[in-house]
């Protein structure tokens, strides 16, 4: 089977976990184990069918390095799924992307934040022609992993995807797939896209969603839903700049608000808070989330729920991205254009259309099944359909 070729903008912790995960699940020893993956097979595609063909970053410790080195370079601080000395040499060299608003000023204050924990911008290497690289590398999917608040950079890379005719996967809370104007641009170009802002595999957002769904399904009113998050990676450091945070808070709260909207429950009835609360360097890529819910049950009787989650943030997102890549590839092969509703609702915090977990999962399964049906259709039947 032909490989799904991916290009990535932003070789930070999430990209590192994704690329290490592809190597891990590509190893014959781990090939047949579904452990850690939601969907080992999507429309005939497994994690082994994905290969990275292009990568962009702006940090001087990553630009010019081969991927096998760049994914372990500082300030990346996630856990190793594959030890650096076991990772095979990559042919892909990280190219200099376009800086735009990708780097927050406060992160360049090295008196406050040691270089190993923050960004160091490459000011010397010229920025490459991203569209040309996407075309020449024959990328099938372009993944955006910009820091939160990179409005211009995300829009720049989204436009590059359109110009190079490559489906786009927007993992961050800048609204592209959920913005009808941007969706229309992708439809006009005959391309599908998924977004916005990854919903990790077993993270704070999916837990908040399931708690909210459960409360409603069991006839409870949700009076208050508070989700706080603390971490020590560059994602959390970047979000210390409140000006970059607006869309992240909207996106995190959307996960909960969506569930009210689906059931026509006014959100004003629920006190909502979901967002990053602090940066604590010691935690590195370990994220701690706490949940506090106050509900009203039978006859108005009060219910209170408190919980704490501890996860490694970046690998928690990588499996979801491996799924989203395959949904996008399948959709593109089937000629589907625009924002994928089911796959976006399943894998992202702010999809174009709110859905319950069950409905989103159903749509994903249907999409994958459509490719398999197409593959097994007799050739004569396929020709007749054309």
Which residues contact ligand NAD (rule: CB under 6 A)?
9-15, 56-59, 97-100, 102-103, 119, 145-148, 153, 171-172, 197-198, 200, 203, 233-235, 313-314, 316-317
User: In the complex, what is the shortest distance from the CB of residue 349 to ligand NAD, in angstroms, rounded to a whole number?
Assistant: 7
Residue 118 CA to chain centroid, in angstroms? 21
Q: Which is nearer to ligand NAD, 9 or 52 (CB)?
A: 9
**Cα–Cα distance measured from residue 93 to residue 96, given in angstroms and rounded to the nearest whole number:** 10
CB-CB contact of 321 with 143 (8 Å):
yes
Q: Which is nearer to ligand NAD, 39 or 70 (CB)?
A: 70
User: In the complex, what is the shortest distance from the CB of residue 185 to ligand NAD, in angstroms, rounded to a whole number?
Assistant: 20
Q: Which is nearer to ligand NAD, 76 or 260 (CB)?
A: 76
Which region holds residue 301: left if phi is over 0, alpha if psi is between -120 and 50, else beta? beta
Separation of first and last alpha carbons in the chain: 24
Residue 122 CA to chain centroid, in angstroms? 25
User: In the complex, what is the shortest distance from the CB of residue 148 to ligand NAD, in angstroms, rounded to a whole number?
Assistant: 4
CB-CB contact of 167 with 332 (8 Å):
yes
User: In the complex, what is the shortest distance from the CB of residue 108 to ligand NAD, in angstroms, rounded to a whole number?
Assistant: 12
- What's 227-279 look like in SS3? EEEEECCHHHHHCCCHHHCHHHHHHHHHHHHHHHHHCCCCHHHCEEEEEEEEE
Q: Which residue is nearest to ligand NAD (CB)?
A: 12
CB-CB contact of 343 with 359 (8 Å):
no
User: In the complex, what is the shortest distance from the CB of residue 289 to ligand NAD, in angstroms, rounded to a whole number?
Assistant: 11
**Cα–Cα separations (whole angstroms), residue 80 to 17, 21, 23, 211, 315:** 8, 10, 12, 31, 9
User: In the complex, what is the shortest distance from the CB of residue 251 to ligand NAD, in angstroms, rounded to a whole number?
Assistant: 8
Q: Which is nearer to ligand NAD, 64 or 190 (CB)?
A: 64
Helix-, strand-, coil-residue percentages of the chain, each rounded to 5: 40, 20, 35
Q: Which is nearer to ligand NAD, 241 or 337 (CB)?
A: 241
Closest by CA position to 283, among listed 253, 306, 314, 255? 314
Q: Which is nearer to ligand NAD, 49 or 235 (CB)?
A: 235
User: In the complex, what is the shortest distance from the CB of residue 98 to ligand NAD, in angstroms, rounded to a whole number?
Assistant: 6
Question: Alpha-carbon torsion 335, 341, 343, 349, what sign?
Answer: positive
Q: Which is nearer to ligand NAD, 123 or 384 (CB)?
A: 123
User: In the complex, what is the shortest distance from the CB of residue 320 to ligand NAD, in angstroms, rounded to a whole number?
Assistant: 8
**Cα–Cα distance measured from residue 187 to residue 184, given in angstroms and rounded to the nearest whole number:** 5
**Cα–Cα distance measured from residue 371 to residue 88, given in angstroms and rounded to the nearest whole number:** 32
Helix (H, G, I), strand (E, B) or coil at 329: helix
User: In the complex, what is the shortest distance from the CB of residue 359 to ligand NAD, in angstroms, rounded to a whole number?
Assistant: 21
Q: Which is nearer to ligand NAD, 43 or 75 (CB)?
A: 75
Q: Which is nearer to ligand NAD, 58 or 222 (CB)?
A: 58
Q: Which is nearer to ligand NAD, 10 or 167 (CB)?
A: 10
User: In the complex, what is the shortest distance from the CB of residue 318 to ligand NAD, in angstroms, rounded to a whole number?
Assistant: 8
Q: What is the DSSP letter of 283?
A: G
């Amino acid at each position: 089977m032909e490989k799904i070729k991916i290009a990535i903008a932003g070789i930070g912790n999430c990209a590192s976990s994704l690329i290490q995960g592809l190597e891990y699940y590509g190893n014959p020893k781990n090939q047949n184990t579904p452990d850690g993956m939601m969907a080992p097979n999507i429309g005939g595609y497994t994690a082994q069918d994905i290969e990275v063909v292009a990568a962009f970053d702006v940090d001087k410790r990553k630009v010019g390095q081969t991927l096998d080195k760049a994914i372990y370079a500082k300030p990346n601080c996630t856990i190793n799924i594959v030890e650096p000395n076991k990772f095979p040499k990559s042919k892909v060299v990280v190219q200099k992307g376009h800086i735009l608003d990708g780097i927050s000023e406060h992160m360049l204050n090295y008196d406050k934040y040691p270089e190993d924990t923050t960004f160091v911008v490459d000011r010397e290497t010229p920025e490459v022609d991203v569209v040309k690289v996407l075309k020449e590398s024959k990328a099938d999917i372009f993944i955006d992993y910009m820091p939160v608040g990179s409005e211009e950079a995300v829009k720049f890379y989204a436009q590059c995807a359109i110009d190079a005719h490559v489906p786009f996967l927007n993992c961050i809370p800048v609204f592209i797939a959920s913005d009808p104007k941007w969706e229309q641009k992708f439809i006009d170009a005959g391309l599908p896209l998924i977004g916005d802002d990854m919903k990790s595999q077993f993270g704070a957002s999916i837990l908040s969603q399931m708690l909210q769904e459960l409360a409603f399904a069991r006839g409870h009113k949700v009076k208050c839903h508070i989700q706080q998050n603390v971490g020590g990676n560059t994602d959390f450091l970047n979000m210390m700049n409140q000006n970059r945070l607006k869309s992240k808070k909207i996106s995190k709260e959307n996960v909960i608000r969506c569930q009210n909207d689906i059931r026509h429950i006014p959100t004003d009835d629920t006190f909502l808070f979901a967002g990053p609360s602090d940066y604590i360097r010691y935690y590195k890529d370990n994220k701690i989330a706490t949940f506090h819910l106050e509900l009203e049950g039978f006859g108005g009787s009060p219910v209170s729920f408190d919980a704490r989650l501890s996860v490694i943030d970046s690998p928690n997102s990588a499996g979801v991205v491996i799924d989203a890549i395959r949904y996008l590839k399948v959709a593109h092969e089937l000629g589907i254009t625009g924002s994928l509703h089911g796959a976006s609702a399943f894998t992202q915090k702010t999809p174009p259309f709110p859905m319950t977990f069950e409905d989103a999962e159903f749509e994903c399964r249907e999409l994958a099944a459509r490719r398999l049906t197409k593959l097994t259709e007799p050739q004569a039947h396929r020709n007749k359909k054309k």
